[in-house]
Amino acid sequence: MRRNILYCHGEMSEWSMVRFSKSRGCNSPVGSNPTLSVLRENMDDTVFEEDDEAPDSQGKTLIVPDIHSGERLDQFIVSMIPSTSRSEVQRWLDADGVNGGSILVNGTVYKASYRVRSGDIVTVVPSPRPPMHAQPEDLPLNIVYEDEHLLVIDKARGMVVHPAPGSPSGTLVNALLGYTSRLSGTGEGFRPGIVHRLDRDTGGLMVVARTDSAHAHLQAQIQSRNAKREYQALVWGHPQFKTADVNVPIGRHPTDRKKMAVITTGEHAARHAVTHLEVLESLQSFSLLHARLDTGRTHQIRVHCSFAGFSIVGDQLYGGMRQLPALRNALLAQRISAAIGNLHGQALHAVKLSFNHPGNGERLEFHSLLPPPMQQLIDILREG
C-alpha cells in the first residue's frame, strides 16, 4: 500500500485540512472524488510505476485488468506506459520484430484496433526511436558558473531544454553545443550534458555536466536528495497552511496527452512524487510560495499546486488562467491584469540550486533573481 498524503503544518492546526473542488479550477486527481480532502493517510492504492522516459529495450509485460477490458490495444498501452503516445505504439506495432520492436497479445501480433480482454498478457518491446542529434547553434546563454566538470546555467523562460518532435532547434542543448564541445555523453544523442530539466516556460538554475563521471555524480545527488532544487511560485488564493508536504503520485493524464495529473488509483500509470511547499507571503488574492523538490516528475510543482487548490498564476494547462476577483481599486485591478498577461507563462522560477562539486566535494550554492515580468507582478501586488 502506498500512502498518498499532503501533510500540512502551521499555526492554524497541527493537521490543517485543505479542500478542493472543480469549481475552484484546480486539477482534480484521476480516480478520486474531487471534493475529498487533500489529507489522505490511508489510501489503499496500487500504482503502476513507470519511468518518465520510454520503456527500456527489454520491454514490459502487462496483464489487462478488468477495468481496461474492451479498450483498443493502442489505448491500453498508452494508459499503462505514460511516456508513450498512440503514434509511438503504432510504430512498435509496425516494427513487428524488426529492429527489436514488437507488441504481442498472448504471444500473437494484433492490430492497434484489437480490443483487449481481461487477463490478456500484453508484451511490449519498443523499437528504437530514429536517431536525433542536436546541432550547434549560436544562441545566448546565461552561464552562472563553469569549470572543467560542469556548468551552471540560468535558463531563460521560453527555451526548451533539448530537441524533441516539434522543437528540433533553438533549445538549450543547441546553445550549449554552440558554446562548447565538452559535454557529457551520458544519455541519448540529443541531450548531451543534461542532468535535469525545466519546463519550457519555467526559467532558472540548471546544472549541466561536462564529463560522464560528473554526470553520474550529479544524478546520484539528485536521486539521494543531496542536491537541492528550490523554486518560487505565485499562486491564486491563500493556502490554509504555512508549510505542506505534498506526497501524491503523478502520471500522464489519461485523456489529455499534453498534461500530467495526480493519479490515485491503479487504473493508470503513475510515479511517486513529493513537493515541499511553504507560504512566503500573502499578496492581494494571491500567495507567494517556496517549493522544494524531492522528486523530479514532469510538471511536478504545477500539478501538485493545482491538486492542492492553488494553481500557479499564468499556467494555462493547470488552471492558472483565472478571472481576477473584483477589486475596489479599478486602476490596481487593471495593472494586475496587465502584469498577469505580460507573464506569457506560469509564474514559476528555479531560484536556488545547491550540490556537492563532483570533483572536490565542495558544497556549491547558486541563486537566481525572479524574471522581470514575475517580479513586476509581485511588486504591483505589494503596492496594493
C-alpha cell at 81: 506506459
| Integer Cα distance of 146 and 226 in angstroms | 20
Q: Which CATH class is domain 5-44+231-348+377-383?
A: alpha beta
| Integer Cα distance of 239 and 241 in angstroms | 5
Return the percentage of the chain with pLDDT > 90, whole number. 54
If one compares 257 and 54, the residue with the highest pLDDT of the two is 257
Return the percentage of the chain with pLDDT > 70, whole number. 79
Name the active-site residue from 45, 120, 154, 199: 199
If one compares 108 and 217, the residue with the highest pLDDT of the two is 217
Domains 5-44+231-348+377-383 and 60-125 belong to one CATH topology:
no
Q: Is 96 considered catalytic here?
A: no
Q: Which of 281, 260, 258 is nearest to 269 (CA)?
A: 260
C-alpha cell at 367: 541563486
- The string of pLDDT tens digits covering residues 128-172 is 665 567 889 999 999 999 999 999 999 999 999 988 777 788 999
Give the architecture-level CATH label for domain 60-125.
Roll (3.10)
- The string of pLDDT tens digits covering residues 187-200 is 556 789 999 999 99
The ranges assigned to domains in the chain are: 5-44+231-348+377-383, 60-125
| Integer Cα distance of 7 and 277 in angstroms | 10
pLDDT higher than 50, residue 11: no
- The string of pLDDT tens digits covering residues 173-222 is 999 999 998 999 855 567 899 999 999 999 999 999 999 999 999 999 99
- The string of pLDDT tens digits covering residues 232-260 is 999 999 999 999 999 999 988 877 878 89
Report the Cα–Cα distance between both ends of the chain, in Å, rounded.
48
Per-residue pLDDT band at 112 (split at 50, 70, 90): confident
| Integer Cα distance of 194 and 205 in angstroms | 12
Q: Are 180 and 327 in contact (CB under 8 A)?
A: no
pTM of the prediction? 0.73
**R_g of the chain computed on alpha carbons:** 22
